Amino acid sequence: MHIYWASVFILPKRIIQELEERMRKFLWSQGNNIKGKAKVNWKSVCMPKTEGGLGIRRVVDMNNALMATHIWSLLSNRESLWVKWVHSYHIQDRSFWEIPVKSNISWSWRKLLSLRPLIRDYVWTKVGDGTKTFVWFDKWDNICPISMFITPRRISNAGFRMNTKLAEVYIHGEWRWPIAWINQFAVLNSLRDMELASNRHDELVWRSRLGVESEFNTALVWDDIRQSQNEVSWANLVWFP
């Protein structure tokens, strides 16, 4: 039941605490209200079996992983009435990553935006023709996002828009960077060998903590955003069928 609601909206912290309290009681004292029964830290219990835990997934990690699905729908522009509504009223041809968190926005939208730092490093764009990639905010190269070291004021003074696409900056195999940028931001020189492919569109991919690109799914997200530790040598011995 909690997995269903965790896929609909971000659960309040109080609800998560109560859910995990019930789970702990069930594990250690068969659901009875007996204190002092827990022998292992709950974070350790929630590690995968290969890492010494019982394979129980923490509610907050599953909640975040499931909510990341909604963010992925927005970024990939999935065919959905909700996606169209959010793009029309909240995003409005801007990058999802640059939208400010204002005081007058709804609670659910604010919570969704608060998940951005959690998944930011894993959401990459596999560049094709460059027409859908936000050059300043998307991660399409190891040095990205470029907005981390080039401020909006510099971007505007150079004559670019904040929603400029990659194809507008890289034309006929040459970058339209200002000469001052090349001298000041030497890291831009690493992009010289890049090529756009006019025969295919840009593709959104999930790049794991190990650098492996995969199609998006909740299990991948959970495994990357959860707290992890080294695998234990005795896992197969204990959990052998």
In a domain, 7, yes or no: no
Tokens of 226: 């959860």
Q: Is 27 exposed, middle or buried (0-12, 13-18, 19+ CB in 10 A)?
A: middle
| pLDDT tens sequence across 146-159 | 999 999 999 999 99
Across all residues in the chain, what is the average pLDDT? 90
The mean pLDDT of 48-76, rounded to a whole number, is 94
Closest-CA residue to 181 (of 158, 213, 161): 158
Tokens of 196: 């756009």
Banded pLDDT at 74 (limits 50, 70, 90): very high
In a domain, 78, yes or no: no
Banded pLDDT at 50 (limits 50, 70, 90): very high
The mean pLDDT of 174-200, rounded to a whole number, is 85
In a domain, 81, yes or no: no
- pLDDT of res. 207: 95
In a domain, 226, yes or no: no
Q: Is 226 helix (H, G, I), strand (E, B) or coil?
A: coil
In a domain, 164, yes or no: yes
Amino acid at position 61, single letter = D
The mean pLDDT of 178-184, rounded to a whole number, is 88
Q: Are 71 and 96 contacting, i.e. CB atoms less than 8 angstroms apart?
A: yes
In a domain, 140, yes or no: yes
- pLDDT of res. 240: 86
Residues 6 or more apart in contact with residue 42 via CB below 8 angstroms: 20, 24
Flag the least confident range among 30-39, 135-144, 171-180, 224-233. Answer: 30-39
Amino acid at position 170, single letter = Y
Using the 8-state DSSP alphabet, how is residue 129 labeled?
S
Total domains, the chain: 1
In a domain, 72, yes or no: no
In a domain, 166, yes or no: yes
- pLDDT of res. 218: 93
Banded pLDDT at 120 (limits 50, 70, 90): very high
Domain membership of residue 184 as a residue range:
128-191
Banded pLDDT at 87 (limits 50, 70, 90): very high
